[in-house]
Amino acid sequence: MDTGFLELPELKLRYYRFGVGNSPHVLVTAALHGDEVTGTYAAYKLVEYLKLRENIEGTVTVIPVVNVPGFISRIRFNPVDYVDMNRVFPDGTGSLTTRRIVSFVWELASSSDYVIDLHCAGLNSYQYILALYREFPKVKELTDRMPWDTVVESNGTRGQLFVEASYRGIPAVIIETGAEKFIRVV
């Protein structure tokens, strides 16, 4: 395992990487929206799981918290500039912090074969996959391999990480987790 940071003067963004150099390369991100903590919980569970695996057929990079300032404040946006980080890919906008984080994540996404972005739809949500599966056959192939029945066609709002990756030929989805289970666990 390999861990690293995007180090900015004001924050550190940590990532974990497993099976370095193997193919395919999967990027898993969470907390692009700082208050969607179930995704972060799931991402750390994935890190724990991968730490116990000796041979990983592929490279998996996990960023449990993308929007570090929003996560600390438990708000959706980056509190520095109130930018929604999941609307400004690939170029970013607003503060230097947002632009640096977005470009760092986009660089990783661009060199990945798949992108899975974890979000949290709220207390009463049932877990589902959000994807552009009608437009992109490779996205459909990915959702067909995922173990959940509910796949929702996205409206394709530009600037979202999974939408921009899909348009560049990288199969990408959002997994919207519910929150209820997480609350029961803790």
Say which residue the tokens 């929007």 belong to: 67
Rounded alpha-carbon distances, angstroms, from residue 11 to 48, 105, 112: 23, 15, 24
Does position 161 bind Zn ion by CB under 5 A?
no
> CB of residue 37 vs Zn ion: minimum separation in angstroms?
11
Choices 23-31, 33-41, 105-113, 154-162 (CB under 5 A): range interacting with Zn ion: 33-41
Determine if 25 is a binding residue for Zn ion (CB under 5 A): no
Please identify, using beta-carbon distances, which residue of 17 and 119 lies nearer to Zn ion: 119
Candidates 78, 177, 96, 93; CA nearest to 129 is: 177
Strand 11-18 with 59-63, pairing? antiparallel
Sign for the pseudo-dihedral over CA of 30, 36, 40, 43: negative
CA angle 168, 89, 70 (to 5 degrees): 145
Q: How far is the CB of 9 from Zn ion (least distance, A)?
A: 27
Minimum CB–partner distance for residue 82 and Zn ion (Å): 15
Q: Among residues 25 and 119, whose Cβ is nearest to Zn ion?
A: 119
Contact between 33 and Zn ion (CB under 5 A)? yes
**Residue 17 binding Zn ion, by CB under 5 A:** no
Q: How far is the CB of 76 from Zn ion (least distance, A)?
A: 7
CB of 168 to Zn ion, least distance (A): 21
Binding mask 111-130 vs Zn ion (x if CB under 5 A, - otherwise)?
--------x-----------
Is residue 83 near Zn ion by the rule CB under 5 A? no
Query: Site residues (CB under 5 A) for Zn ion?
Result: 33, 36, 119
